[in-house]
Amino acid sequence: MKNRIFLLYGGKSAEHDVSLSTARAVSHALDFSKYDVTPVFITPQGEWRPGPLLAGPAEQVTDLLIGEAGTSAPARLADGIGALADEAPGQPVVIPLLHGPNGEDGTVQGLLEVMDLPYVGNGVLASAAGMDKVVMKQLFGSVGLNQVPFVHFIRSEWESDRDVILAKVEARLSWPVFVKPANLGSSVGISRATDRVSLIRAIGEALRYDRKVIIEQGVDGREIEMGLLGNDDPKCSVIGEISSASEFYDYESKYQDGNTVLTIPAEIPEPAVTEMERMAKAAFKVLDCSGLVRADFFLTKDNEVLINEVNTMPGFTPTSMFPLLWQHTGMTYPELIEELIRLALERHAEKQSLNTDRN
State whether 76 and 173 are in the same domain.
no
Mean pLDDT of the chain: 90
Arithmetic mean of pLDDT, 37-57: 91
Whether the CB-CB separation of 300 and 224 falls below 8 Å is answered with no
Q: Are residues 251 and 339 in the same domain?
A: yes
**Range 87-126 burial, b when 16+ CB lie within 10 A, else e:** ebeebbbbbbbbbbbebbbbbbbebbeeeebbbbbbbbeb
Catalytic site residue from 15, 47, 241, 339: 15
CATH of the domain at 267: 3.30.470.20
Residues 7 and 104 in one domain: yes
Q: Classify residue 64: in a domain, yes or no.
A: yes
Of 69, 103, 119, the domain-final residue:
119
Of the candidates 19, 127, 186, 290, the residue annotated as catalytic is 186
Q: Verify that 42 and 72 share a domain, yes or no.
A: yes
Q: Are residues 55 and 166 in the same domain?
A: no
Strands 35-42 and 3-10: parallel
Is residue 193 assigned to a domain?
yes
pLDDT at residue 11 is higher than 60: yes
Task: Assess if residue 138 is contained within a domain.
Answer: no
Residues 130, 145: Cα–Cα separation, whole Å = 15
Residue 236 lies in a domain: yes
Q: Cα–chain-centroid distance for residue 39? A: 20
- pLDDT for 270 equals 97
Give the rounded percent of residues in the chain with a pLDDT score beyond 70: 89
186 catalytic, yes or no?
Answer: yes
- Number of domains comprising the chain: 3
What pLDDT, on a 0 to 100 scale, did the predictor assign at position 75?
Answer: 45
Identify whether residues 199 and 314 lie together within a single domain. Answer: no
Name the residue type at position 2: K
- Could you say which of 275, 290, 320, 339 is catalytic? 320
Q: What does the pLDDT read at residue 137? A: 98
Q: Model confidence over 123-148: pLDDT tens digits?
A: 999 999 999 999 999 999 999 999 99
List the CATH number of the domain containing 172. 3.30.1490.20
Q: What is the pLDDT of residue 13?
A: 83
User: Lowest-confidence range among 155-169, 186-200, 239-253?
Assistant: 239-253
Is the per-residue pLDDT at 255 higher than 50?
Answer: no
Q: Tell me what pLDDT residue 251 has.
A: 47
Residue-number span of the structural domain to which 183 is assigned: 149-217
Does residue 102 share a domain with residue 25?
yes
Q: Which residues make up each annotated binding site for ATP?
A: 133, 178-180, 186-187, 216-223, 308-309
33 with 112, same domain?
A: yes
Domain match, 301 and 256 both: yes
Q: Is residue 135 part of a domain?
A: no
- The answer to whether residue 125 is domain-embedded is no
226 and 211, same domain (yes or no): no
CATH number at residue 41: 3.40.50.20
How confident is the model at residue 1, as a pLDDT? 75
Give the domain-ending residue among 192, 217, 242: 217
What value does the mean pLDDT take over residues 219-229?
A: 97
Q: Judge if 52 and 109 occupy the same domain.
A: yes
Any domain includes 142: no
Is 158 a domain residue?
yes
Are residues 190 and 229 located together in one domain of the fold?
no
**What whole-number distance in Å separates Cα of residue 4 and Cα of residue 82?**
11
What is the average pLDDT across 283-310? 97
Q: Nearest CA to 323 among 240, 230, 253?
A: 240
- Apex 273 CA angle, 185 and 231, nearest 5: 60
pLDDT, tens digit (0-9, with 9 covering 90-100), for 63-102: 999 885 444 445 455 555 655 566 666 789 999 999 888 8
Domain boundary at 119, 138, 163, which?
119
Which parts are annotated binding residues? 133, 178-180, 186-187, 216-223, 296, 308-309, 311
DSSP 148-179: --EEEEEHHHHHH-HHHHHHHHHHH--SSEEE
Cα–Cα dist 103/18, whole Å: 13
**Which pLDDT score, from 0 to 100, does residue 260 have?**
83
How confident is residue 28, by pLDDT bands cut at 50, 70 and 90? very high
- Rounded to 5 degrees, φ, ψ at 336 are -65, -45
